[in-house]
Amino acid sequence: MSSALAIKAAAILGGSGVALGAFGAHALKRIVEDPHKIQQWGTASRYQQIHACALLAIGLSGKQAPYAVYLLTAGSIMFAGSIYTLVLLGERAHSIALMTPLGGLTMVAGWLSLVTLAL
């Protein structure tokens, strides 16, 4: 179950990460002038794609790691999604800013949960 879910999550996060990265590299400059915000967008896309690769590796390993799959997926969505939202909406989305560190901590927990695969 977690292998198939990991591959599905990897496909969705990976594909959307590439699309959002391309948008950030080419079209975002027409909407956002602040180079720091454009850099933040790139960071979000990079982390999203890295975690998609991790999920793909988990899925292809055939081992069961449901906590890692759920935590890495949720963390990626919270971390990258909050950054995308903040870059596009700025101060109007200030309440979502707490999602970024929470998403980061969730991703860390996902990585740490992979220890169970070695037991």
pLDDT tens digits for range 74-93? 999 999 999 999 999 998 99
| Average pLDDT of the segment spanning 12-18 | 98
DSSP 63: -
CA distances from 105 to 39, 43, 102, 112 (A): 21, 16, 5, 10
pTM of the complete model:
0.94
As for how many domains the chain has, the answer is 1
Domain assignment of residue 96, given as a range:
2-118
Percent above pLDDT 90 for the chain: 91
